[in-house]
């Protein structure tokens, strides 16, 4: 008789449910191969975000699109989560990553949304003071969040006015 490991018994579907219980608005298990990395995404950080080179979880301190693409190729699936608040995503991701890791998926790797604000001022000359909580954003690693979300059935639109709510996404790679 072959015994199943805890990892085999668990199934990854429960991680989407767990993300919802943690406060995500939506969550879905996706194929990692649907996550697209593009060089232009990181340029949007460099030429459009005030956090560029000011935080360890922002470029140029984060993996390049090429590095992230190579890393994603090592995974089969992921849990993609959505919320209407950036802070919710960045609070959920490290905790969800830890739960997935403890369930036996030792390669679990989480990516949040937008700049990290765990410290009022980030010292980019030293190591991160919050390595268990801080995660780079999907976009800082070159992930085309719009393509990835749309490919996986999520609605996401460009925010055109200050009154319009944004769509924020995070992901935990699972294998």
pLDDT digits (tens, 9 = 90+) for 139-171: 999 999 999 999 999 999 998 998 888 899 999
- Alpha helices per DSSP H over 3-144: 6-10, 13-21, 39-46, 65-72, 86-102
pLDDT in tens, 66-75: 999 999 999 9
Phi-psi region of 69 (alpha: psi -120 to 50; beta: other; left: phi over 0): alpha
Q: Look at strands 168-174 and 77-83 and give their pairing.
A: antiparallel
pTM of the model: 0.91
Mean pLDDT of the chain: 92
């Amino acid at each position: 008789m072959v015994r199943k490991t805890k990892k085999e018994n668990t199934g990854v579907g429960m991680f989407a449910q767990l993300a919802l219980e943690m406060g995500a608005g939506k969550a879905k298990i996706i194929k990692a191969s649907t996550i697209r990395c593009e060089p232009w995404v990181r340029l949007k950080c460099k030429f459009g975000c005030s956090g560029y080179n000011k935080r360890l979880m922002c470029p140029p301190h984060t993996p390049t699109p090429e590095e992230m693409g190579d890393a994603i190729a090592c995974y089969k699936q992921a849990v993609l989560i959505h919320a209407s608040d950036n802070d919710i995503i960045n609070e959920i991701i490290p905790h969800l990553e830890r739960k997935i890791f403890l369930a036996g998926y030792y390669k679990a790797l989480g990516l949040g949304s937008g700049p990290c604000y765990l410290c009022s001022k980030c010292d980019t000359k030293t190591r991160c003071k919050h390595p268990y909580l801080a995660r780079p954003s999907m976009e800082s690693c070159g992930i085309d969040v719009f393509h990835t979300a749309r490919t996986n059935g999520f609605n996401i639109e460009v925010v055109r006015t200050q009154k319009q709510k944004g769509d924020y996404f995070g992901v935990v790679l699972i294998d």
